Every structure is written in C-alpha cells, then in structure tokens.
Amino acid sequence: MFVDRIYFPVTTLGPGERVVVWTCGCTKRCPGCANPELWETRPEAAIEPARLAAVLNDLAGRTGAHRITFTGGDPLEQAPALASVLAAIRSTFDDILIYTGYTFGELTAMPKLPKGLLPLPSSPQPNSGGLPNEGSAGAAPSAHPEDAPLIDVLIDGPYVEAENDGVCALRGSTNQRVIVLNPALETLYHEEMQKPRSVQNAVFDGRAISIGIHGRPQTTREKE
C-alpha cells in the first residue's frame, strides 16, 4: 500500500479525535483538490498492509484512539490492500471512515472489489443522508457482526469545486454523500454534519499541513 502520512489526533475529518491515514495515488485528479501532491504514488511511500495494520493497532494501543479516517489520494484505488488493513484493525477501531472519489454505485459494480468492504448489492440500501434511524439516538458503537462491511462510513463522489457550498463539515462539495453503513453511528454523523467547517493546522515531518474540509473558493467577483 502507498501511504504518505499518518497523524493523530485529528478532529476535522470525522467525529471525535481520530487517526488519519493519507494514501498516495488518485486518477480522478479533481480540479481544486486539497491534496494534489498525493495524486502520484511514490516508491518510498510503499508499506506492506500487515505492517501498516500493526502500526495502526500499536498507535491505538498507546493513545486510546478508536476512530480512524482514510483519505488521500484515493484509498479505494488500493482496494485489496485497504481491505487487508481494515480486516486487521477491525477489532481495534469501531468507527472507520473512508473518503473516495468513486460513487457507491461505481464501487459496488467493480468486479474485483474485495469481498466485505461494502454491503453486497442485495443488502439494504445504505443511509446516504446521515440521518439517524428511529431508536438509534445515543447508541454506542456495538461489536461488528461477522457479515458487517469493513467500512463504517463512506463519503463518496468526486470533488466538484463549483459545488463547494462551504457548509458541511464532512464533505467538500454537495454532490458527495455521507453514507453511514453502521447504524450505531448514524446519530453521531448526523450531528457532525450540522457543525461548521474547521481546519486543523499541524506540522508533519518538518512541513506545515492544513487538515480538514476547506471553505468555498472565492469567485472572481468576490476577489475584486
């Protein structure tokens, strides 16, 4: 797997304090992308899935982290390696959030999508609005059934700069969906979607990084 960086704690890419993993490699190359430096894979960024899983499990053991976000790049362009990592960290992390430029429909139609990453096409449709089901309010994440998908929450679709309304704290443009696959997390993510955007500034490996969903780009008229 190709990974650029891992950082903890992050509070701007999902609810709570989270581990965030930035992968390398994305063929979507959306105009206005926040991380164009991660479009290409680099040999020095390669790490075996088992090694990455061990690093993440160790980090969780030392910090108490139990929420994790994979972004990029596009993690699902490395779907087999990602599935291997998620299976190995599933018992450690009870909130696994994945950002991808592919839509849910595109992903489930992929013939080589690893089994278990997402619900089967015959499974109930995921909640794509982040709205809680009746009776789920206040529910704590439960143990994952064996047939539950490895991904708890998927934020899907390419970033479209013209559809960045500067509002939702979880997605960059309104075409993207927050798809909650774990019913125990629906209320938590619904509440997160109501919050304003924020950006966390940090230093990683000697370089300044800005973490989070950035604001709506200014139009030419607004800049004048």
Q: pLDDT tens across 110-161, in order?
A: 988 999 999 865 544 555 554 333 223 233 334 455 678 999 999 999 999 9
State the pTM of this model: 0.86
Distance set, CA 206 to CA 24, 27, 171, 209 (Å): 19, 27, 28, 10
Amino acid at 64: G
98-111 pLDDT per residue, tens = 999 999 999 999 98
Q: How many domains is the chain partitioned into structurally?
A: 1
**Taking Cα atoms as reference points, which of 179, 178, 96 lies closest to residue 141?**
96
Note down the domain range covering 32: 3-223
